[in-house]
Amino acid sequence: MKDYEEYLEILTTGLLKKKKSILHVFREWDRIIFPHSDSTMAGENKDSSSGLKTAMQMLEDDESEDGLEMEDQRTEDL
């Protein structure tokens, strides 16, 4: 979990400071993961709540890898 927290810190710091390399990561993320969305998580879209809603819906609609969804469900049941 520590690795994920470190990645999150790098990404959020880069976004807040508008670092070119991190904005590029988000633009690529948007292009690959959310190809049918016209919004961006790179901070360029003024209507970020709409972009977040769209991204979260697309994430919800996405398939899970085998076993991962079941593991998440077991954690929720605890």
Q: What is the pLDDT along the chain (78 residues), one digit of tens a residue?
A: 888 999 999 999 999 999 999 999 988 988 887 777 666 666 555 555 666 777 778 778 888 777 555 555 555 555
**What's the structural domain count of the chain?**
1
User: What's the one-letter identity of residue 56?
Assistant: M
**Is the pTM here over 0.85, yes or no?**
no
User: How high is the pLDDT of residue 7?
Assistant: 92
Contacts of residue 15, defined as CB under 8 A and 6 or more positions apart, other chains included, come to 22, 23, 26, 42, 43
User: How high is the pLDDT of residue 34?
Assistant: 73
Question: Which structural domain, as residue segments, surrounds residue 68?
Answer: 2-77
User: How high is the pLDDT of residue 59?
Assistant: 77
